[in-house]
Structure 1
Amino acid sequence: FDDDAATIQALVSGQVKAVGGNQFYGQRLDAASAGTYERKINFLTTYNGVGTRLGEKDWNEAVNAFIDKIKANGELAAITKKWMAIDLPQFPESIPNIPFTVQ
């Protein structure tokens, strides 16, 4: 299907028996037909992130400090709950070949 709306409509209308999609499909399906569908499997979690230019150590440290602060004081969880309507996912401590800090 071309987009999320068409995919969800195909399920609601009975055109398909199951769909795979992002973490927001459950919310949209509940809005369209509450209590009819259930999430069976979580394949992955999508993280929102911040990118900085390679080598900009000061900027990278400032961004990381800000993220650490709003994670620690609960503000990031509150923002995620308000705007995404999901709990803040558990962030990985590292990702292979992706540096979180500038060396």
Structure 2
Amino acid sequence: MTIHPAGVTKYTITADRTSIRRLHDAINTRNVCAIPVQHPVHGPRLLCLRPVERSWTERPADEPPTSGPVMLYLTLPDSEITIIFRGKRRRNLTTALSEILLTDTA
């Protein structure tokens, strides 16, 4: 799978199905993960994900603790991109990854 974080070509990477599964699972369980990816110029890299911690006052009472924002980031030798997925954007990311994982590979 080719990934374009924030639509920025400089950070385009590829990841295999196993890595996408790990990323998907980490989002849903609010765990930290670093998946191996391939950058066309800089070679093997790690795409990292971690939950964004919020105080109990920032979380609506009816929101499950596992649905909070997550931070996705990729470091290159000369720069880094960080994207925080909150609310609807986080749900859209999870949905997109779910659909990718359901796609038949045949």
Larger Rg, first or second structure (1 or 2): 1
More strand by share: 2
What's the TM-score, normalizing by structure 1? 0.26
